[in-house]
Structure 1
Amino acid sequence: MNIQDLEDMGCGTSSATKDKKSGKALKAALVIQNWYRTYRDRLKTRQRYALTIFQSIEYADEQGQLQLSNFFSFMLENYTRVQEKEPGLVTRLFGSSIQDKDRQDYLGLIEVPDSYCGPRLQFPLTFTDIDLLIEGFKQQQILHAYYVLEVLFETKKVLQQMPNFTHTSTSPSKEITICGDLHGKLDDLFLIFYKNGLPSVNNPYVFNGDFVDRGKNSMEILMILFVSFLVYPNDLHLNRGNHEDFMMNMRYGFTKEILHKYKMRSVLMPPIPMDGDPAEKKNKLGTTIVAQGIRTTGSFSELLTKQEWEQVVDILWSDPRGKRGCYPNTNRGGGCYFGPDITAKILNKYQLKMLVRSHECKPEGYEICHDGKVITVFSASNYYEEGSNRGAYIRMSSGTTPQFFQYQITRATCFRPLYQRVNAIESSAIRMLKERMISRKTDLTRAFQLQDRNKSGKLSMGQWAFSMENVLGLNLPWRSLSSHLVTKDKDGNIDYMSGFQDVHIQKPVKEVQSTLIETVYRYRSDLQIIFNIIDSDHSGLISMEEFRSMWKLFKSHYSVHIDDSQFDELAERMDLNKDGSIDFNEFLKAFYVVHKFDKLNKSDNKLA
């Protein structure tokens, strides 16, 4: 019996019905599929916008960091005048305080008590010490300061014997693993080692810098990498990133982490009392070593020349872009952007095939550009916020294409639906953006009012976006973000003051003018770094005279237009016990942003 016979017997009706139902089911499936794809694309777009906010604010802060370095250059250029007023100030800012010949003197200040139950390293170091260190850090143990100093001194000694550029070779049977920024994300390093194996002669690694800052475990990452380097100096390569820098560490968290874990100003610069100066020496973990004077070595002639400094900044801060040529890196404020033609020129000049670099967070953990000749790898997952990005590392060998391995450290929130995760990331990004807006409220209001010729309190979308971009200097999709920042009327006009209704800076003193509050808040990180450096006795207290004189220098260099009497009045009010000194870190904590409510939280349960 064939198909025609079945149709003649009446079976064809059933088949047609089934085909019709199958067609409807297929159409329904396609509709649902298209809807889901559109829905998912919208969520991805929102996530991408949130990442753009995070990155734009990050780069704007880095501009501030480089501007701060210009401030110190300004002080150095005016050395004679500053030296007359503050004889010890320039030495504290620019002097060196560490000598190799005093290694035992430093280590002699500290002893390891019998009660210490963390990792105990044995020198010369072996593979066992790497394993011991990793297991100890997994148990959240803190490596004793004595071992930290030993590792630092030994690492410095080995590095000084090596060239600035190191060479390594691979073969079809021997691959090399390249990792990007880790930024104190210890769990990411653990995951890389779990998936890819520990460093060894047969498993070499290159780490592309930015080991520290932002994350909570910069010291642990540094110790693991340094110990691994000391065990395998020819098979583990450590490139310097822009965060391997004392000033960056003061802003982005590594210095604070050291102070928290070791209660010293820095284990990198142990204080040594000058001859005849009283000093308090204690040698147990967690105690303070205080010195009223600091022995410094070196001279200003040993500092980098301006040309050398610019070369270092270019190497550490530059980024690839699609546009041809080489032009200023306006986002970061330092280094340059280089196009595909520049990449091709340099690779051809030095007979290279590819550049593998880091320095930029990428949503997928890596990115390929410049016709496949430039690869960016970024190994810190969840860099801005949990769920914000994946991490990655690369395996390469001779004659093969690079292999990319992606991952993302998961917490409980990562198991939530995608829209909830995107809402959380977006909410955090908008909060940061609102805080940036409130720190420039006076400037934004002035810019809005200049555009608002009719004094209606409203602007067109274009006028509002122009003002936001012009004042904040953040290259963001303002039109798309407007629904999260301001309210609009039925005609699409923006109530520009509505952006400040749900957020304000807490005033430590009610009578203080808003302009001064905004200025102190905007420059709080810079001011904290400056005043921590000039806190000569590391007491956390600064004399009122130092407070005033440094503010005047800062105000002059940054072109801040605020009457000195306003700042003096604020300082006097913050000197609560009237002892002529001020706890500047506590002073800054008095300035914080208050979010009255978060509109985005109301939509957590809504589908995008």
Structure 2
Amino acid sequence: MTLDFIKKMIDWFKDGKNLPRRYVWEIVLGAHSHFAKEESMVNLDLEDGVTCDVIGDVHGQFYDLLNLYSLTGEPNDKHCLLMNGDLVDRGSWSIEVILTAFAYKWLYPTRMFINRGNHEAKDMNRTYGFEGEAKHKHGEQTYKLFAYVFTTLPLATLVSATKLPATPDKAAILSPEGRKRYFVVHGGLFSKDGVTLDDIRKIERVGRQPGQEGLMCELLWTDPQEMPGRGPSKRGVGIAFGPDVTRRWCTLNGVTGIIRSHEVRENGYAIEHDGLCTTVFSAPNYVDQVGNKGAFIRIDSSGTQKYFQFDATPHPPMKPMAYAQGGLSSLLM
């Protein structure tokens, strides 16, 4: 894998062409070789001068992803990308999105990170388009390969600053070493108190689907709510967690804040739970009809966050959910 290959592959995709199946398998297996070595929670320490861009759901919106990458820049020695799940489904270029992301993972394994989302799962892929798209473009065995490799994606990433905060903030929750660190996960927190970072790190994920309950399910499916405590999920899977739940969990684990995705936000991001929980969503004008902006978050080596917004980019005349069973359906999941 080379950067030149990735650029030529992107041009190939923009011309509406499919990669030869042998190349697809090589890219997926090349990325898998690195995912398989990572724990269920990856530790990403931002050395002096290194930044990390956290990217939310992109949902198969390939042309928006290319615009996004033009804003973030490619991974390099001083810059990391962290894609926080839901790369596929809904948008009709999910294959192009996932192959581009996996190619970067293969080329820059310590600078490109991908968390699993609730849509990197068989039941969602069957309903929301990725299974149909993968089979249409590359055959059933290729879809099965993707389905397995999705189970090797880490479930969360702990992004840690290595420098002390530039401006002391007595109210901030810091690591035991006095540094800022952010827990990046697709969905959110848990149906019970007391879950530790070590509990997450030890989750056996490979070969497994998220299911309807348990830590893996909740990491990928839960949402924040404004009310204190916990409530039922509007999705029917997972729970909703309040600001008091977030503060207790962050305090227990020495986490400065949670960065999660999983939900559309009109401005591309929203700072919630008294600043302890931020939602970032990176699919602008979601499914060609919501009208939202996209966003990403940049974190530097002192733990400072900056927020960047962007608008949707024109794309060829292909409707969302083109390969899904029953066509365009509910936006909620």
TM-score between both structures, scaled by the size of structure 2: 0.72
CA distance in 2 between counterparts of 1:390 and 1:205 reads 20
Q: Is the 8 A contact 2:212 2:237 kept in 1?
A: no
CA distance in 1 between counterparts of 2:241 and 2:117 reads 18
In structure 2, the CA distance between the partners of 1:200 and 1:133, relative to structure 1 (3 Å rule), is farther
CA distance in 2 between counterparts of 1:163 and 1:315 reads 15
Q: Is the 8 A contact 2:225 2:240 kept in 1?
A: yes
CA distance in 1 between counterparts of 2:121 and 2:73 reads 29
Indicate which of 121, 133, 142 corresponds to 1:267.
142
Aligned to 1:157: 33
1:312 and 2:312 equivalent?
no
CA distance in 2 between counterparts of 1:253 and 1:170 reads 36
In structure 2, the CA distance between the partners of 1:266 and 1:408, relative to structure 1 (3 Å rule), is farther
Aligned to 2:159: none
In structure 2, the CA distance between the partners of 1:387 and 1:247, relative to structure 1 (3 Å rule), is closer
Secondary structure at the aligned position of 1:247 is classed as helix
Q: How many residues are treated as equivalent by the alignment? A: 259
CA-CA distance at 1:212 after TM superposition: 0.1
Aligned to 1:214: 90
Aligned to 2:130: 254
Secondary structure at the aligned position of 1:361 is classed as coil
Q: Residues 263-303 of structure 1: CA distance to partner in whole angstroms, max 9, x if unpaired?
A: x2341327xxxxxxxxxxxxxxxxxxxxxxxxxxxxxxx98
CA-CA distance at 1:222 after TM superposition: 0.5
Q: Is the 8 A contact 1:183 1:380 kept in 2?
A: yes
Indicate which of 262, 265, 271 corresponds to 1:368.
271
Task: Give 2:214's aligned amino acid.
Answer: E
Q: Is the 8 A contact 2:210 2:217 kept in 1?
A: no
Task: Give 2:61's aligned amino acid.
Answer: K
Indicate which of 262, 266, 274 corresponds to 1:359.
262
Task: Give 1:265's aligned amino acid.
Answer: E
In structure 2, the CA distance between the partners of 1:335 and 1:394, relative to structure 1 (3 Å rule), is same
Please identify the structure whose Cα radius of gyration is greater.
1
Aligned to 1:227: 103
Aligned to 2:229: 325
CA distance in 2 between counterparts of 1:306 and 1:410 reads 32
1:349 and 2:252 equivalent?
yes
Aligned to 1:242: 118
CA-CA distance at 1:157 after TM superposition: 2.8
CA distance in 2 between counterparts of 1:408 and 1:307 reads 34
CA distance in 2 between counterparts of 1:266 and 1:246 reads 14
Q: Is the 8 A contact 2:135 2:143 kept in 1?
A: no
Indicate which of 49, 55, 58 corresponds to 1:179.
55
CA-CA distance at 1:163 after TM superposition: 1.1
In structure 2, the CA distance between the partners of 1:233 and 1:251, relative to structure 1 (3 Å rule), is same
Secondary structure at the aligned position of 2:46 is classed as coil
CA-CA distance at 1:128 after TM superposition: 2.3
CA distance in 2 between counterparts of 1:411 and 1:324 reads 41
Q: Select the structure with the greater relative contact order (CA < 8 A; seq sep ≥ 6).
A: 2
Q: Is the 8 A contact 2:92 2:133 kept in 1?
A: yes
Aligned to 1:335: 238
In structure 2, the CA distance between the partners of 1:261 and 1:306, relative to structure 1 (3 Å rule), is closer
Aligned to 1:393: 296
CA distance in 1 between counterparts of 2:3 and 2:289 reads 33
CA-CA distance at 1:306 after TM superposition: 10
Secondary structure at the aligned position of 1:343 is classed as helix
Q: Is the 8 A contact 1:180 1:358 kept in 2?
A: yes
CA distance in 2 between counterparts of 1:307 and 1:143 reads 32
Aligned to 2:2: 126
Task: Give 1:215's aligned amino acid.
Answer: G
Q: Is the 8 A contact 1:179 1:378 kept in 2?
A: yes
Higher helix share: 1
- Deviation larger for 393-402 or 198-207: 393-402
Aligned to 1:404: 307
Q: Is the 8 A contact 2:122 2:209 kept in 1?
A: no
Indicate which of 169, 172, 183 corresponds to 2:45.
169
Task: Give 2:99's aligned amino acid.
Answer: M
In structure 2, the CA distance between the partners of 1:243 and 1:303, relative to structure 1 (3 Å rule), is closer
Q: Residues 237-259 of structure 1: CA distance to partner in whole angstroms, max 9, x if unpaired?
A: 10000000011001001111123
Secondary structure at the aligned position of 1:168 is classed as strand
Task: Give 1:328's aligned amino acid.
Answer: P
Aligned to 1:96: none
Q: Is the 8 A contact 1:258 1:266 kept in 2?
A: no
In structure 2, the CA distance between the partners of 1:138 and 1:303, relative to structure 1 (3 Å rule), is closer
CA distance in 2 between counterparts of 1:411 and 1:193 reads 15
Structure 2 stretches lacking a partner, 5+ long = 146-205, 316-323, 328-333
Secondary structure at the aligned position of 1:352 is classed as coil
In structure 2, the CA distance between the partners of 1:384 and 1:154, relative to structure 1 (3 Å rule), is closer
Task: Give 2:134's aligned amino acid.
Answer: I
In structure 2, the CA distance between the partners of 1:333 and 1:179, relative to structure 1 (3 Å rule), is same
CA-CA distance at 1:144 after TM superposition: 1.3
Secondary structure at the aligned position of 1:388 is classed as coil
Indicate which of 2, 13, 17 corresponds to 1:141.
17
CA distance in 1 between counterparts of 2:72 and 2:97 reads 17
The alignment yields a C-alpha RMSD, in angstroms, of 2.5
CA-CA distance at 1:171 after TM superposition: 4.6
